[in-house]
């Protein structure tokens, strides 16, 4: 069964149909690629799934239940995490703090951790234990990305590639079941992309399902088991990489486009 799937999801902006009755599904513990030319509606689809945008019509299911019109913070809490195409880090905060925020709703105490301000005011005893817990977990994720050494740097001072990694680390700190990566390799050089490929595969071995939007075809064809292709908001193909590579409609969609 699919971990997450959409049912004729549709989104229009004014007269423009950004997502046109798309059925998109993600198998549990897979790496799924979402590709298509610019403006095909990929990010819009991500935004709808993660609660940042609401669809015009259609439905959206996660673990068998409809999660239509769920607020973004609830989406995060039920195990769906994401990164952003234009990196959205907490720029003036340190690398460590960025990841600690990922632990925000994973407090240690069953009652006091539910509402973080109880803890700030009252939970004198739990406060330290909780902070310790969050700290250690955040450090674990920083080590996963070999970033423990720069934990006190401000996020904005990291090089571009590291910022992308930090964004992934931050999302993983929420302990998601499914992780959506929006163009994770954008702006990376070939060796960074290579490292990213390994990282994504490592993430999957942790039991996290990965969905990614990417223009780097080498990366997509190498690590995705399943690919969905969008063009002008419509799903034009889906299947294994080899299946997609031979699909005439996909080739047509990409033709005329310079080096996509």
Partner 1 sequence: MDSTTFSLFQIDIVTIFQHLINGLTLGGIYALIALGYTMVYGILKFINFAHGEILMVGTYFSLFLFNTLITGGKTGAVLFILFILALLFGMAISALLGVVIEIIAYKPLRKASRLAPLLSAIGVSIILSNSAAYFFGTRSRKFTYPLDNKPFNFFGLSITPVQLLTIFVCFFLMLGLKYFVDKTRIGRAMRASSENQNVASLMGVNVNKIISITFAIGSALAVTAGVLYALEYKVSPTMGTMTGLKAFIAAVVGGVGNISGAMLGGILLGILETFGTAVLGIPVGYKDTIAFGVLILILLLKPDGILGKNIKEKV
Partner 2 sequence: MLNLLLLVMILLGLYIILSLSLNLIAGYTGLLSLCHAAFYGIGAYTTAILSVHTGLSFWLLLPISGLVAAVSGVLIGLPTLRLKGDYLAIATLGFAEIVRNVLTNWDSLTGGPRGISGIKPPVLFGYTLDPLKKVNYLILVWFFVAITFFVLKRIMESRFGRALEAIREDEIAASSMGINTTKYKVVSFSIGAFFAGIAGSIFAVFIPVVVPGGFDFMLSVTILCMVVLGGMGNHIGALIGASIIYIASMLPQILGFSSIISPQFNQIIFGLILVIMMIYKPDGIVGRKKPDFEKLIGASLKKEVSR
Binding site for partner 2 (CB under 8 A): 50-52, 71-73, 75-77, 81-82, 84, 88-94, 96-97, 100-102, 104-105, 107, 116-117, 119-121, 127-132, 134-136, 152, 154, 170-171, 174
| Spatial contact of 84 and 164, defined as CB atoms under 8 Å apart | no
Q: In terms of CB distance, is 15 or 256 closer to partner 1?
A: 15
183 Ramachandran zone, left/alpha/beta (phi>0; psi -120 to 50): left
CA distances from 236 to 111, 158, 215, 225, 232 (A): 48, 38, 17, 17, 9
- Residue 119 engages partner 1 in binding (rule: CB under 8 A): no
Q: In terms of CB distance, is 38 or 86 closer to partner 1?
A: 86
Q: Which does 43 bind (CB under 5 to 8 A by kind): partner 2, partner 1, none?
A: partner 1
Strands 80-82 and 16-22: unpaired
Q: Which does 72 bind (CB under 5 to 8 A by kind): partner 2, partner 1, none?
A: partner 2
Q: What is the dihedral of CA 161, 162, 164, 166, to 10 degrees?
A: 170
Q: Which does 107 bind (CB under 5 to 8 A by kind): partner 2, partner 1, none?
A: partner 2
- Residue 43 engages partner 1 in binding (rule: CB under 8 A): yes
DSSP calls for 150-207: GTTSBGGGS-HHHHHHHHHHHHHTT--SEEEEESTTTT--HHHHHHHHHHHHHHHHTT
- Residue 84 engages partner 1 in binding (rule: CB under 8 A): yes
Q: Which does 53 bind (CB under 5 to 8 A by kind): partner 2, partner 1, none?
A: partner 1
Name beta bridge partners: 211.
32, 180
**What is the number of helices (H) and of strands (E) in the chain?**
10, 11
Q: In terms of CB distance, is 52 or 101 closer to partner 1?
A: 52
Quote the least distance from Cβ 82 to partner 2, whole Å. 6
List contacts with partner 1 (CB under 8 A): 43, 47, 52-53, 84-86
């Amino acid at each position: 069964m699919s971990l997450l799937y959409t049912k004729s999801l549709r989104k229009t902006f004014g007269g423009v149909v950004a997502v046109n009755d798309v059925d998109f599904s993600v198998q549990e513990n897979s790496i799924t690629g979402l590709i298509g030319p610019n403006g095909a509606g990929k990010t819009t689809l991500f935004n709808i799934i993660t609660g940042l945008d609401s669809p015009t019509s259609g439905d959206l299911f996660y673990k068998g239940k409809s999660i239509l019109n769920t607020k973004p913070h609830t989406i995060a809490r039920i195990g769906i995490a994401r990164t952003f195409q234009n990196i959205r880090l907490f720029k003036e905060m340190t690398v460590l703090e960025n990841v600690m925020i990922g632990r925000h709703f994973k407090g240690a105490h069953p009652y006091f951790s539910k509402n973080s301000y109880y803890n700030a005011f009252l939970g004198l005893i739990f406060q330290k234990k909780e902070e310790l817990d969050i700290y250690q977990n955040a450090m674990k994720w920083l080590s996963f990305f070999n970033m423990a050494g720069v934990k006190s740097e401000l996020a904005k001072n990291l090089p571009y590639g590291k910022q992308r990694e930090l964004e992934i680390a931050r999302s993983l700190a929420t302990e998601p079941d499914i992780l959506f990566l929006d163009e994770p390799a954008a702006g990376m050089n070939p060796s960074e992309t290579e490292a990213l490929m390994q990282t994504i595969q490592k993430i999957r071995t942790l039991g996290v399902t990965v969905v990614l939007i990417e223009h780097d075809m080498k990366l997509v064809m190498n690590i995705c088991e399943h690919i969905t292709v969008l063009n002008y908001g419509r799903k034009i193909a889906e299947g294994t990489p080899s299946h997609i590579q031979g699909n005439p409609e996909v080739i047509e969609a990409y033709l005329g486009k310079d080096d996509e």
